[in-house]
């Protein structure tokens, strides 16, 4: 009884939380709303890819293909059947989401069943190939608009639905890991021969993960189609697959928490850099010397940090002090190097708008994070209240 009460309560909290987000966002600009929607979609995409890549250990790099299958299926259905259905747009969106999820799941099954007998890089190549096949096929199908794209009616912007899907995806992955039913997936990631000897049906585990992951990507595609109102094959290129993969790896392969945070972080980072303002009000502009100074400082800091953390022999507290030291050194180096480089006339006169460097900074951030923490920010860890407790417990000890 208590169990069902808590369950009901958590569902209600999730639903009203998402509706709350929507209500709060309604007064914001279109730009903020767009960021919220993209962040939610990327959370769904990265958490669902994490189920395939991280939890089951199958290296798929064609996730955008399933996103595309969902988007086009939903778009096609809307174009042809929305007018005769007499459904309100929001209800219709839910219907197309379900259809898109089913369609992408079938695509996942069809691709997965034969190709999941492959491992590692071979599977990666097959999924990459599948992604391209779908994109090029759509590009050459007049009924789907070809490379001109497809206009999708009705256009619905529902931040609540986007985040509900994300929450549902997170909840399902978390539930899987909380029960014994998730263990066969993890076992397959760790050792296929041993899992098979323990009675785990390896192919079934892989295909199940693939189908589930694809279904969520498909549903996300339906949401994208109805939000944008217009989809083209170019929206689902290889770069989208790689961005999703980057989110999974950066967050820590296998960690749901990591996927969520890095999806939000990587969606917002370029936009944040784009919006940087200088104190006088215009876009933030630095001289060439200062930019070079920052680059030197980052290199120096990363080198010191790597040196500090590579040697596992030092006690934790000492490493922490040294890490703080490395950052202080970095700031000093930045200051000195900027002064020095700005003495060079050409560098001093060159004005650089930081917003234009956003993808460079994005790439550097990835490189730095991978150098310092190759296992991903969260590694295999998940968020839990115990964990929060332990962090606070530790800080209490430290202050006492």
Partner 1 sequence: MSLLSLEGATIRFGGLVAVNSVSFDLNKGDLFGLIGPNGAGKTTCFNLITGVYKPTSGTILFQGKSIGGTPSNKIAAHGIARTFQNIRLFKALSVLENVVVGGYLRHNTGLFSALAYLPSSINETKRLKAEAMELLRVVNLSHVADVRSADLSYGMQRRLEIARAMATQPELLLLDEPAAGMNPLEKEELLTMVKKIRDDHGMTVLLIEHDMRFVMNLCERIVVLDHGEEIAQGPPSAIRNDPKVIAAYLGEAV
* Residues near partner 1, by CB under 8 A: 3, 7, 171-172, 175-176, 178-184, 186-187, 189-191, 193-202, 208, 254, 380
Question: Hey, how many other C-beta atoms are within 10 angstroms of the C-beta on 69?
Answer: 24
User: In angstroms, what is the minimal distance from the CB of 59 to partner 1?
Assistant: 16
Nearer to partner 1, 218 or 254 (CB): 254
User: In angstroms, what is the minimal distance from the CB of 175 to partner 1?
Assistant: 4
Nearer to partner 1, 348 or 381 (CB): 381
Nearer to partner 1, 109 or 230 (CB): 109
User: In angstroms, what is the minimal distance from the CB of 207 to partner 1?
Assistant: 12
CB 108 within 8 A of CB 66: yes
User: In angstroms, what is the minimal distance from the CB of 273 to partner 1?
Assistant: 35
If residue 351 lies in a helix (H) or strand (E), which one and from where to where?
strand 351-353
Nearer to partner 1, 181 or 395 (CB): 181
DSSP letter string, 211-242: HHHHHHHHHHHHHHHHHHSEE-GGGG-HHHHH
In order of 60, 299, 304, 327, the CA distances from 308 in angstroms are 34, 14, 6, 12
Which of 247, 369, 357 has the alpha carbon at shortest distance from 292?
A: 357
Nearer to partner 1, 2 or 316 (CB): 2
User: In angstroms, what is the minimal distance from the CB of 173 to partner 1?
Assistant: 9
Query: What residues contact residue 114 under an 8 Å CB cut-off, 6+ apart?
Result: none
Sign of the torsion formed by the C-alpha atoms of 264, 269, 270 and 276: positive
Distance CA 392, CA 400 (A): 12
Nearer to partner 1, 11 or 324 (CB): 11
User: In angstroms, what is the minimal distance from the CB of 350 to partner 1?
Assistant: 49
């Amino acid at each position: 009884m208590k169990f069902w009460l808590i369950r009901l309560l958590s569902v209600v909290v999730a639903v009203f939380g998402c509706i709350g987000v929507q209500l709060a966002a309604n007064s914001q600009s279109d730009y903020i709303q767009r960021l919220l929607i993209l962040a939610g979609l990327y959370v769904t995409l990265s958490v669902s890819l994490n189920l395939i890549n991280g939890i089951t250990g199958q290296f798929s790099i064609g996730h955008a293909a399933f996103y595309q299958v969902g988007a086009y299926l939903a778009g096609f259905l809307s174009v042809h059947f929305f007018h005769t259905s007499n459904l309100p747009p929001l209800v219709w969106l839910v219907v197309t989401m379900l259809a898109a999820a089913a369609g992408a799941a079938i695509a996942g099954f069809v691709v997965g069943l034969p190709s999941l007998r492959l491992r590692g890089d071979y599977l990666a190549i097959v999924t990459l190939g599948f992604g391209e096949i779908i994109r090029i096929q759509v590009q050459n199908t007049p009924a789907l608009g070809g490379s001109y794209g497809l206009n999708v009616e009705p256009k619905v912007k529902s931040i609540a639905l986007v985040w509900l899907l994300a929450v549902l995806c997170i909840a399902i992955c978390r539930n899987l890991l909380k029960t014994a039913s998730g263990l066969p997936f993890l076992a397959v990631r760790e050792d296929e021969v041993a899992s098979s000897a323990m009675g785990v049906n390896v192919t079934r585990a892989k295909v199940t993960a693939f189908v589930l992951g694809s279904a969520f990507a498909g549903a996300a595609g339906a949401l994208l189609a109805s939000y944008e109102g217009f989809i083209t094959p170019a929206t689902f290129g290889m770069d989208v697959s790689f961005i999703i993969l980057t989110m999974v790896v950066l967050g820590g392969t296998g960690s749901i928490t990591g996927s969520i945070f890095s999806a939000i972080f990587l969606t917002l980072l370029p936009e944040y850099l784009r919006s940087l303002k200088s104190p006088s009000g215009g876009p933030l502009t630095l001289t060439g010397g200062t930019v070079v100074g920052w680059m030197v400082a980052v290199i120096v800091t990363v080198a010191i940090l790597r040196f500090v953390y590579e040697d596992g022999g030092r006690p934790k507290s000492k490493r922490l002090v040294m890490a703080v030291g490395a950052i202080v050194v970095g700031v000093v180096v930045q200051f000195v190097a900027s002064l020095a480089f700005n003495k060079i006339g050409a560098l001093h006169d060159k004005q650089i708008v930081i917003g234009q460097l956003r993808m460079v900074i994005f790439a550097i951030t990835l490189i730095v994070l991978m150098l310092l923490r190759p296992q991903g920010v969260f590694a295999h860890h998940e968020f839990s209240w115990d964990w929060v407790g332990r962090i606070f417990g530790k800080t209490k000890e430290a202050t006492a």
